[in-house]
Structures are given as C-alpha cells and as structure tokens.
Amino acid sequence: MSEAGYEVAVFPGDGTGPEVVREGLRVLDALAEGGAAPWHCTEYPGGGQYYLKTGREWEPEAANASRTADAILVGAVGWPGATLPNGDLAGRALVLGLREGLDLFANVRPCKLYPGVRHRISGEYREVWSPKNVDLVVVRENTEDLYTPARGRLTRANETEVAIDTRIITRKGSERVIRYAFELARGRSRGAPGDGVRRVTCVDKSNVMEGCRFFRETFDRVAAEYPEIERDYAYVDAFAQWLVRNPERYNVVVATNMMGDIVTDLAAVLQGGMGFASGGNIGVDHAMFEPVHGSAPKYAGKNQVNPFATFFALEQLLRWLGARHSDAGLVRQADRLERALAKTLSSGEARTYDQGGTVSTREAGDRVAEGIRGEAR
Ligand code: IPM
Ligand code: MN
C-alpha cells in the first residue's frame, strides 16, 4: 500500500469486459463519495483484441503492475480468432498467466442466491429454488490438474497422431487449497442452509482416478485438523445432480481445477446465471478478482450485459484486501456494497436481459450506485 492507498490494477480486457468494469469502477467511486478513497485504480489494456491490434497480449508495464498492485481486477478475456501462435487463447496472460505467475492457488467462487433474482432453466424465468437454500462457496484448485501446461502432440509427417494433456495433482497444490476450504468453512458466519452444519464437501472421481484418490487422501489428512467441521464426499458425476436437487446441503465445496471449472458454471445457474458469478483467485501475497462470465462477444458494445458479477467480484476484492491488511474500514465498505447489491436485487429494478428485464448495464450500475448512497457508511 502506498500513500495514495491500495493500488488496484484493472484489466478491462475483451468484449463486454470493459462495459462491466466501467460500472464496477463507478460503484467503487460511489462507495468512496464523501471521503478520501482508500484505493486507487489504474487501468491497463490487454487481452485478445489487444493482441490482434498489437501482436502483444499486454505491455511490460501492465505485467509489472500485476506484480506490484495490492489487488487485481480482470474484466474478461477471449475474442474470436485471437489465438497465440501455439494455439493458446490470446489474453491467457491476464487470467491463466496470472494464476500461474502469481501462484493464485485458490479459485474462490461464492454461489449465493439473493431474493429477487430469477433463474432461467428450460427457457423460462422462474423462482425454483428459494433464496434461503443457495449459499455455498466452491473452492477450486487453480494452478495444476489438466491446466498444467504439460501437454503436447505427437506429429508424424505433419499429421497429428496423438494429443496429450497430463493431469498433475501434487501434495502441495492439494493441501493448500483444501486447507483454504476448511479455514473458509470455519470463518463463515453460517453452515449449510439446510441444516446449519459447517461442512466441507470434497468433489472428485476417486472411484476411478489416481490423482483424485490422492486428493481425497490429502483431504482426510487436512480434515483431521478441523474436527468441528463435517467432512463430506461426492463423486463429481453424482455431485452434479445433488447440487441442483439439493443445494441447501452444501456449505463449502473443494474440487480439483478442471472439475471445479465445470461445476462452478453449473452452480452459477443456482445463483441466477453467470451474470452473478464472481471469482477470487487467491494466493499468498496476491489476488485477482473477476466476473467469470467471459467476454460474451455477441453482446460486446451493446450495453446489455449484467454487471452484477463484477460488483460481487469487487465485494470479494474489498473483503480480501480488508482481511489481509486488518483494515476494518475496507471490510465495512464490502459489507455496505453487499447490502446495496442485495437491496437493489430484491427491488427487481436492475434486471438486465439475462433476468428477463430491460435494464441496461449502465442503468444497473446507476441503481447500485444509488443504493450505495442510501446505505450508511
Ligand atoms: C474460468 C474460465 C477460464 C478457465 C478460461 C477463460 C480459461 O472458464 O475462469 O472458469 O477455464 O479457468
Ligand atoms: Mn470456467
């Protein structure tokens, strides 16, 4: 932290990323009104579209800022046709690159349904799950598994014969993310919505895969240090149905990287859709926060997408910064932001197209900024 306050490096990125980030920064401004902002945000260009324009995913000063900032906000990366020479997603430096480079080992994805939020399944908007039944957090391992760049092709006479992705599960990688999940379960104010029990569910496929068996063994070893927290197990295939059928059973869920990637998109349906899903990529000294919906090229520039995922990402950012620096003022701002978000959602006055509404990205930002002004500091 410098004299100007906490430095936040902001990467709006591709597609709809800049639109939702713009609203996020306005919401931060609203929080800071009437006093000196304890944070300072600097925007940096980068991503797939930037790569198409310049041949670089980002500039060295942006890469440098990601290492020196107190926290990072990323909008979204990915653009049709923006591919690096090796076939990777152009813009990966801003997401996968930061996860690897800053060792952001825990991808923390809260899944909470707020009153007033609708679901869309089977093409209809409904209120199927009661808000009180959905309040869980998925902690996804974020640095290894099938995401490890231990992959390649076997080519003969310019013809690919075999493609291989190696699934790497390490003791260190598993242990730290599992411990993170137990600490989170310990620190949360509530257990599972259904029965109030503090519970950590290990999601894996240990009936088949060795890496998953190892992950589960590590889970048991770490769980023994937390006797007050119930340990729970689910094979990932069964988990997919239980999560939808019985979300109230879940409190904190821990999973390996690839399975965590998949189940968090499924879980997002329970919270109203990807428009509400935020993620914190947490390491020891660094953290990056993002809406997880991606760049949605089809909607880019239309001022239509739901900015709430970015608002929730900022709530996570403020909470993490506040805890890390024992800064009660920041934690209060995170609480204030959450109250304003909850109030705006329950009013039903900020429904964007994905909620069956007609409110624009900008107007949703306006509603939340007004809500913040109405919340005591
Ligand atoms: C996510 C995304 C990323 C991932 C993509 C953009 C590489 O789907 O954050 O969940 O696979 O982790
Ligand atoms: Mn994903």
- Report whether pLDDT(211) > 80: yes
Q: What are phi and psi of 112, to 5 degrees?
A: -125, 135
Q: Answer whether 181's CB lies under 8 Å from 254's CB.
A: yes
Best of 16, 74, 94, 96 to mutate for ligand 1, by most ligand atoms within 8 A of CB? 96
**CA 253 to ligand 1 centroid distance, Å:** 18
Give the number of the ligand closest to the Cα of residue 265.
Answer: 2
- 248-265 pLDDT, tens digit each: 999 999 999 999 999 999
Phi–psi pair at 286, nearest 5 degrees: -135, 160
Question: Which pLDDT band, with edges at 50, 70 and 90, does 2 fall under?
Answer: low
Two tokens at 168? 């790497």
Q: What's the gap in Å between 223 CA and the centre of ligand 2?
A: 27
Q: Which residues, in sequence order, are CB contacts of 16 under 8 Å at separation 6+?
A: 75, 76, 293, 295, 296, 299, 300, 305, 361
User: Which residues surround ligand 1 with Cβ inside 6 Å?
Assistant: 78, 95-96, 261, 292
Mutate to test the pocket of ligand 1, among 57, 92, 95, 259 (most ligand atoms within 8 A of CB): 95
Mean pLDDT on 356-370: 97
Confidence of residue 3 (pLDDT cuts 50, 70, 90): low
Half-sphere exposure of 184 (CA within 13 A, CB side): 27
Q: Which atom of ligand 1 is nearest to the CA of 92?
A: 7
Q: How far apart are CA 67 and CA 283, in angstroms?
A: 12
Question: Ligand 1 atom 8: the closest Cα is on which residue?
Answer: 261
Who contacts 247 (Cβ-Cβ below 8 Å, separation ≥6)? 129, 133, 134, 136, 193, 270
How does the average pLDDT of the chain come out, rounded? 96
Percent of the chain having pLDDT more than 90?
A: 94
Read off the pLDDT of residues 216-231 as tens digits, 9 standing for 90 and up: 999 999 999 999 999 9
Instruction: For residue 85, count other CB atoms closer than 10 A to its CB.
Output: 6
Q: Please tell me the distance between residue 259's alpha carbon and the centre of ligand 2 in angstroms.
A: 10
pLDDT of residue 271: 96
The one-letter amino acid at 198: R
Beta bridge partners of 39: 6
Q: Please name the residue whose Cα sits nearest to atom 2 of ligand 1.
A: 292
Residue 377: pLDDT band (50, 70, 90) is confident
- pLDDT in the model for residue 128: 73
pLDDT tens digits for range 274-317: 999 999 999 999 999 999 999 999 999 999 999 999 999 999 99
Q: Which pTM was predicted?
A: 0.97
> Measured in angstroms, how far is the CA atom of residue 363 from the centroid of ligand 1?
28
* Maximum C-alpha span of the chain: 69
Strands (E), the chain: 6-13, 39-43, 71-76, 106-112, 119-121, 124-126, 135-141, 151-156, 159-165, 199-204, 230-235, 252-255, 278-282, 287-291
- Section 179-185 average pLDDT: 98
Residue 84 predicted with pLDDT over 90: yes
State the pLDDT confidence band at 124, using cuts at 50, 70 and 90. Answer: confident
Residue 249's pLDDT is 98
Tell me which residue has its CA closest to atom 7 in ligand 1: 96
CA of 328 to the centre of ligand 1 (A): 32
Residue 127 pLDDT greater than 80, yes or no: no
DSSP per-residue codes, 136-204: EEEEEE-SSBTTSS-EEEEEETTEEEEEEE--B--HHHHHHHHHHHHHHHHHSS---TTT---EEEEEE
